[in-house]
Structure 1
Amino acid sequence: MDLNEITAAVRQHPDIDDALVTTAISPHSGEEELLVYAVPSGSAQRWGRLVETATACLVEGMAEQREALRTWRDFWDALDEISVLVMARTLAQLGAFRTPEQPVSVDSLMQRCAVAPDHEPLFRQWMHVLADNKILRSGPGPDEYACSDTLSATELDEQVEKRMAALVVDGVERVFTDYFVSSAAQQVDLLRGEASPLPLLFPDGDPTLAETFYARNPISVVLNGVLAETVAKAVELGPTDRPVRILEIGAGTGATSTTVLSRLPAERTRYCFTDVSQYFTDHAKQRFAEHTFVDYAVLDLNNHPGDQGFAPESFDVIIAANVIHTARRIDHALERLRPLLTPSGLLVAIERTANTPVQMVTVGFLEGFSYYEDQRKESNLPLLSPAGWVTTLQEGGFHRIATLPQGAAATTELAEHVILAERSADDPPVARRVKLHSDLAMLLPDPNASFHILPVEQIPRRPDGLVDERSLPSPWDEA
């Protein structure tokens, strides 16, 4: 094993500015083990501080909102169960599955129930959910379903009403319950395309309901706080010779903007608030008039930003709260967004990462949940998993990626993630995600060999230029 050759190779890693590879005898095993002393690159240090900030804020936010999160989770789980009954009731109202045990194809059902073609993906999601909940049975054909008993609209309506009456709701739960009840009552017209879902979310054009929901539910409170603190840290670590330029896409009602803008220094920031609808940008101009460092523009993710007045490498940070999934093709949206970032620029997103029955009877009727033309067609689900986001971002030229929270318990509790992604400084995009430990393992004669990575501020050297190994920390030193 040539340690000098390994050291030279380690120094080529994009996360490392300087390195020293040596060996030492482990006091525990008595075996010789490899030690990699590494001086993190400037971008790696910045990334580490951003992830550290996001993680600390998430832990603190979840602790502060623990009871509210638990209440919200129980509330959402109860609505999920009710949503399954709402789907079944809607099919009964449409006259589906009148003959027990008779298989019917999805195409035949859509024709019989006059389902709008635009809602075919959503209708197929319903079939899967109802089969998973044993209300329907899939088969015998690959696209067929049957029901053991005739669906009774009256009986199902009674079950829905009973479950709704048992809900304990207050505050933001009440706001969402009202929206849920309105949506549930119009499922037939929504499914047939005879009613628009937008007036339900924006009654009489008023954004208050949507704004209250997206700003005040405890998951949004926690994750908007994480996003805001991370962006504020990015500004702190950003260039000092000019303002840090921030673009928010799909800003909508401004629920996330409100939290972010309150944490940004006006003299250090230039913020561009955008949405696909001028209605929201006009509303934001009035709402955020006191923030003189904010500009406003219309931006559609499904079209090229250059054709909409946005120049390449004109932003240091891009914010996207529950919006990237609304693009017809997420991969194309990322291909359009990435060039807008400066090299090593930061994308900070919030994305719901669980597809639920509640979604399928409420916002599922909105265009962004049905018009996907990318890899989601294979699963017929509009929301990507955390792993799906990592892969898609990696393929889109982002080489450092973090999804928070991590771990099954936290993921289940939130069902949403903050996603951090750093644009690669390279063009064309990097082929894979940067993972320091596995990258270094591949440099060793034995990739399975045990080794330690120890970050240091600098490699200590004696006056004669040689490495002062006595000043290097030990991986076994408890201090």
Structure 2
Amino acid sequence: MSGRRLRAVVCGTTFGQFYLAALAGLGDEFELAGVLAKGSARSVECARRFGVPLFTDPDQLPDDIDVACVVVRSGVMGGTGTELALRLLRRGIHVVQEQPVHHEDLVVCLREARRHGVRYRLGDLYVRLPAVRRFVAAARTLLAKQSAVYVDAVCSMQVAFPLVHLLGDALAGTVRPWRITAASGAADAPFALLNGVIGGVPLTVRVQNQVDPADPDNHIHLLHRVTIGTDSGSLTLSDTHGPVLWSPRLHIPDAVKNRFDFAAVESAHLGEPSTVLLGPAQPPSYRHILGELWPQAIGRDLVALRAGILGEPGAERPDQYHLTLCRMWQDVTSELGYPALRQGEEHQVFPVTELMAAVTGIEDEPAVQRPATSSEVSDGVVACAAAAAESHGAAVTARHSRTFVARLDEAVLSSMLLTLQRHGLLDDPGRGHTAEEILTTAGVAPQHHRLIARWLDVLVERRLISQEGCLFRGTQPVRTAAVERSWDLAAEAWTGRLGSAEFIDYLRLNAERLPELMRGEQQAALLLFPEGRTATADAVYRDTVTARYLNAAVGAAVRRLTPGASEGRTLRVLEVGAGTGATTEAVVRALGDQPCGQAPGIDYLFTDVSNFFVVPARERFAEYPWMRFGVLDIDRDLAKQGFRPGSLDVVIAAGVLNAARDTDATVCRLVDLLAPGGRLLITEPTREHLEITASQAFMMTPPEDARQQSGTTFLNQDQWLGVLSKAGLEDVRILPGEDHPLAPLGQRLFVARGPVC
């Protein structure tokens, strides 16, 4: 971070709540200093929830406010937002005002901002959304090489300004000349039709010009849908939140028309898909959109404003461009006229499962009647898994992941060192201690000697302590307040973005109990399952962004491998170490929640090392007759536990193999259970998770594999590939990829195929 944190207030608490959420996620750049509103129950609750004061008059604002987010309807929309923005600008406060704003009001605000030496800009989250940014990037690349021949767009009247902004960005700001004219149509039709030109390109716009006056923010048919056509094909933003599609223009060459020759050189382009997804196939849920993507998009606007305020290189100055967009938006709304009033609109939900059931069997019907190769099957399985999982990570950037990992590592390492220093160890650079002395003085239980020795290695690696021969030396005392602050920062980077607060609370509690854990006075299992309850474990294994991503991927992979009803066979699946059933749940969801005898072509065996998890799972999944339950110990001979070699099509091991005594031997045993070409689905950490070495590692079995020699807790990705190869597995695929935003979090799904014969 360069420059200081800017103190910001949010004016308005309806849409303003999204700005509050955005600022809460920008703790390195901004400090939320208050809420300015009329004092309604909602605004009081907003201020309480974010822990900031509520102001009811701009004159009450402190003198050190840097930025105001004016999220109140502007004058052109019948509100007081523009008047408020001007008052704040005159106080020397930088302002971002939510669109739309009348062109003349924008001119006045820009003039006032210059007069008082501050920044003013329009806020528009829509053009900052990931799918819109992908569409704009693709459009600019396309239009740099060929001209657009048409633009076709659809929106609701509430988001007409963002549509104009979106089109302007896609056309690289080339909106002149434009012309907008209303076309005649049925008076009661949901969409009004406009024709015209934008940047010299023919333009058609359809706008849902209807509103329920009692609920004006709801009951819209869609936000935005835009297609830019060229001689090569069409680029489509199918919805504001994706997906983005490229559809090559159909051209049937003479070789096909005259000789039905698809192998000719001139027919090569026909081998391309008729539509290609540019980016994730699965758009995010509305929960993710409203809770994560919108605040993040607003955050990008705020960061851009901050860059301008601090004079950073390349800071945006979109004044003239926004003036042009405001003029064009006013032309659109002028041609539309007043919206038709639709009283008493009701929200209705249609279950998507019914639509999915209606198309089942159609989408999977093979185009060519030949068996798919093993590689093609793997391609399909991994593609489905990736598509299903993508929405669960759509709200996360690589920056979020890296920031959290760095902050969590700092919190864990400082907690480890503080724990040892409380025993008079490693707090004096002039005094060295042997490992044996450290273990004895700290009273470490014998079963935890290897783990605490690993702590020492990590502390040396991270240069928090030093090692000279067999002596370990500290650097300086760790302050309790500094440790607490490091946990606060880790929680700030995690909560709401990567998972629930319960996950960090669990890790923090373990850190506080480290003295008791390492002495064997506290059972780690009781912290994970307090009083036998699973809520904490759910936060660890079910609710984190990586858990959601990986579990959804496993569920989609199993669904892809499950045969259709007409195939007359059953997919035999074993899940080992199923635990709380987080992965099992994802499989059930992927199969369409088919209970009560509606077998989906699968025989699923849920197992764990004891009845602690098996008994509640039997009750929880009782309505699924295709699911069976049993006890299985992965460290013991599987044949002696009643499992036959070659009897399974899929084995799932979600986050359990790191607890195996000998990973190589366990994987080999599981591979022996696979029928020819069967699949092994493994989810595992692939980096050293320091937080686990300070929590769950206290209840893990001491390893007897490569981890014993390296002293590590987990195998890395290359080591896993070696384990899988040694076991005879082939065609290994890995999700998420190294360039994925979730990759820094260090969790992977391995999809591996057993020998075909």
Question: TM-score when scaled to structure 2?
Answer: 0.48
Give the SS at the match of 1:81: helix
1:102 to 424, 428, 431: 431
1:271 to 604, 608, 625: 604
Instruction: Compute the displacement of 1:286 (Å).
Output: 1.1
| Letter aligned with residue 160 of structure 1 | V
Cα separation, 1, equivalents of 2:508 and 2:621: 32
Give the SS at the match of 2:450: helix
Instruction: Compute the displacement of 1:41 (Å).
Output: 6.6
Query: Who is 1:80 aligned against?
Result: 409
Cα separation, 1, equivalents of 2:566 and 2:392: 28
Alignment of 1:295-444 (within 5 A): 295-368=628-701, 371-408=702-739, 410=741, 412-426=743-757
Cα separation, 1, equivalents of 2:400 and 2:434: 39
Select between 92-101 and 212-221 the one with higher mean Cα deviation.
Answer: 92-101
Instruction: Compute the displacement of 1:72 (Å).
Output: 6.0
| 8 Å CA contact retained: 1:344, 1:423 | yes
Cα separation, 2, equivalents of 1:283 and 1:301: 20
Instruction: Compute the displacement of 1:90 (Å).
Output: 0.3
Alignment of 1:43-442 (within 5 A): 43-63=374-394, 65-66=395-396, 71=400, 74-97=403-426, 99-139=428-468, 141=469, 143-149=470-476, 151=477, 155-166=478-489, 167-168=491-492, 170=495, 172-236=499-563, 240-264=567-591, 266-368=599-701, 371-408=702-739, 410=741, 412-426=743-757
Closer/same/farther in 2, CA of residues 72 and 238 from structure 1, 3 Å limit:
farther
Cα separation, 2, equivalents of 1:118 and 1:388: 26
Closer/same/farther in 2, CA of residues 148 and 80 from structure 1, 3 Å limit:
closer
Q: String of CA shifts for 1:152-210, please: whole Å, max 9, x gaps.
A: xxx52121123334542645431012212221121011111121100000000101210
Q: String of CA shifts for 1:399-421, please: whole Å, max 9, x gaps.
A: 22112222255464331111011
Cα separation, 1, equivalents of 2:565 and 2:693: 41
Cα separation, 2, equivalents of 1:348 and 1:164: 34
CA RMSD of aligned residues (A): 2.4
Greater Rg over alpha carbons, structure? 2
Question: TM-score when scaled to structure 1?
Answer: 0.74
| 8 Å CA contact retained: 2:426, 2:465 | no
Query: Who is 2:349 aligned against?
Result: none
Q: String of CA shifts for 1:204-254, please: whole Å, max 9, x gaps.
A: 010121013311111111111111111111114899332111100000000
Q: String of CA shifts for 1:317-370, please: whole Å, max 9, x gaps.
A: 0111101111000011012111111111000111111113222212221224xx
Instruction: Compute the displacement of 1:128 (Å).
Output: 2.1
Q: String of CA shifts for 1:51-74, please: whole Å, max 9, x gaps.
A: 3323434445433x336x865654
Cα separation, 2, equivalents of 1:217 and 1:379: 28
Cα separation, 2, equivalents of 1:351 and 1:278: 23
Any gaps of 5 or more consecutive residues in structure 2?
Answer: 1-264, 266-369
Matched, 1:42 2:365: no
Tell me which of the two structures has the higher relative contact order, counting C-alpha pairs closer than 8 angstroms and 6 or more residues apart.
Answer: 1
Give the SS at the match of 1:79: helix
Instruction: Compute the displacement of 1:135 (Å).
Output: 2.0
Instruction: Compute the displacement of 1:267 (Å).
Output: 3.3
Closer/same/farther in 2, CA of residues 71 and 288 from structure 1, 3 Å limit:
farther
Q: String of CA shifts for 1:423-443, please: whole Å, max 9, x gaps.
A: 1134xxxxxxxxxxxxxxxxx
| 8 Å CA contact retained: 1:401, 1:421 | yes
Give the SS at the match of 2:649: strand
Cα separation, 1, equivalents of 2:727 and 2:488: 47
Cα separation, 1, equivalents of 2:386 and 2:371: 20
| 8 Å CA contact retained: 2:551, 2:583 | yes
Give the SS at the match of 1:216: coil
Give the SS at the match of 2:653: strand
| 8 Å CA contact retained: 1:352, 1:415 | yes
Cα separation, 1, equivalents of 2:687 and 2:456: 17
| 8 Å CA contact retained: 1:277, 1:298 | yes
Query: Who is 1:31 aligned against?
Result: none
Cα separation, 1, equivalents of 2:585 and 2:402: 25
| Letter aligned with residue 523 of structure 2 | S
Give the SS at the match of 2:410: helix
Give the SS at the match of 2:500: helix
